[in-house]
Each structure stands twice: as structure tokens, then as C-alpha cells.
């Protein structure tokens, strides 16, 4: 890291590289969820919204990759001027990879049917 702010921030984290990468992944997932749930979505803008979420996440520190999918089966045809659907957490399926120094975290957000809940979790932590 060559950014002096990044170096200064390191002093506040009393944790391993893998714990920091997991923390960073959690921040990104929380940002995606809380920033975009409630946004109007339709078949006409779903691809644009997926890309906007991805591009917004990619500018955050330590993001290696992100892929967002919105469940198109939940979208409906607009039946009038005032008819629209808002994005809900259970419509999101997100794959995120965050790298911090010696660690890479693969995190996921998806609807877990058995729980009926859009769960955010760590799939894997690797050394790099």
C-alpha cells in the first residue's frame, strides 16, 4: 500500500489480514443492501441497475470483483403509470471478492430458501 491514508488506517485495525478482508467484505455487502433496497426496478432497467450496483461497489477499497444478479422471475409487467416494483433484499444474488494484503475473501449474498432470508456470508477465505 502506498497511500498514506491506508497506512494510517492500518493502525486502527488490531486484526489479521484475513479478518480485515472479511470486515471489508461485510462493509461492501451492507452498502449494497442498504443503499439499493427500495430502488424502483423493472424488466426495462434491471440490467442497468445490476451494473450500477457493481460499478458503485468496484470503486470501494480492496474490491477485486463483484457480480450482481437480480431475480428476474420477481419482476412484473407494468400495468399502469403508478405501478412499479421496488427492489427487495431477497431479489439480490451477489458474488463479491475482496483482497487485502495476504488474504482474499469470497463473500455472497443470496436468498436462503430454508430461512426465507437474504443471507450475507463468507464462502471462502484464501491466502494470496
Name the average pLDDT for the chain.
Answer: 94
Is residue 60 domain-resident?
yes
Indicate the number of domains in the chain: 1
Residue in 63, 59, 66, 115 with CA at minimum distance from that of residue 93: 66
Is residue 79 domain-resident?
yes
The CATH number of whichever domain residue 56 belongs to comes to 3.30.1300.20
User: Domain residues for 91?
Assistant: 15-127
Q: What integer is the mean pLDDT of 70-89?
A: 87
As a whole number of Å, the end-to-end CA separation of the chain is 15
Is residue 117 domain-resident?
yes
Q: What integer is the mean pLDDT of 19-31?
A: 98
Is residue 52 domain-resident?
yes
> Looking at residue 71, what is its pLDDT?
97
Is-contact 42 59, C-beta < 8 A? Answer: no
> Looking at residue 49, what is its pLDDT?
98
Is residue 31 domain-resident?
yes
> Looking at residue 79, what is its pLDDT?
79
Is residue 95 domain-resident?
yes
pLDDT tens digits, residue range 92-112?
A: 999 999 999 999 999 999 999
Residue 98 CB burial class (10 angstroms; 0-12, 13-18, ≥19):
buried
- At residue 2 the predicted structure's pLDDT band, cuts being 50, 70 and 90, is low
Is residue 1 domain-resident?
no
DSSP letter string, 2-50: --HHHHHHHTT--S-HHHHHHHHHHHHHHHHHHHHTT-EE-TTTHHHHH
> Looking at residue 1, what is its pLDDT?
45
Here the cell at position 42 is 423493472
Is residue 7 domain-resident?
no
Q: What integer is the mean pLDDT of 13-35?
A: 97
Residue in 96, 125, 126 with CA at minimum distance from that of residue 108: 96
Amino acid at each position: 500500500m502506498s497511500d498514506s491514508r491506508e497506512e494510517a488506517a492500518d493502525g486502527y485495525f488490531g486484526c489479521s489480514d484475513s479478518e480485515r478482508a472479511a470486515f471489508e467484505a461485510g462493509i461492501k455487502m451492507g452498502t449494497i443492501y442498504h443503499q439499493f433496497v427500495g430502488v424502483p426496478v423493472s424488466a426495462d432497467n434491471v440490467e442497468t441497475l445490476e451494473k450500477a450496483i457493481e460499478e458503485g461497489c468496484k470503486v470501494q477499497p480492496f474490491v477485486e470483483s463483484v457480480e450482481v444478479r437480480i431475480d428476474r422471475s420477481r419482476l412484473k409487467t407494468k400495468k399502469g403509470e403508478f405501478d412499479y416494483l421496488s427492489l427487495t433484499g431477497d431479489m439480490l444474488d451477489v458474488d463479491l471478492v475482496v483482497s487485502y494484503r495476504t488474504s482474499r475473501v469470497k463473500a455472497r449474498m443470496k436468498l436462503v430458501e430454508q430461512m426465507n432470508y437474504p443471507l450475507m456470508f463468507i464462502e471462502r477465505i484464501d491466502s494470496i
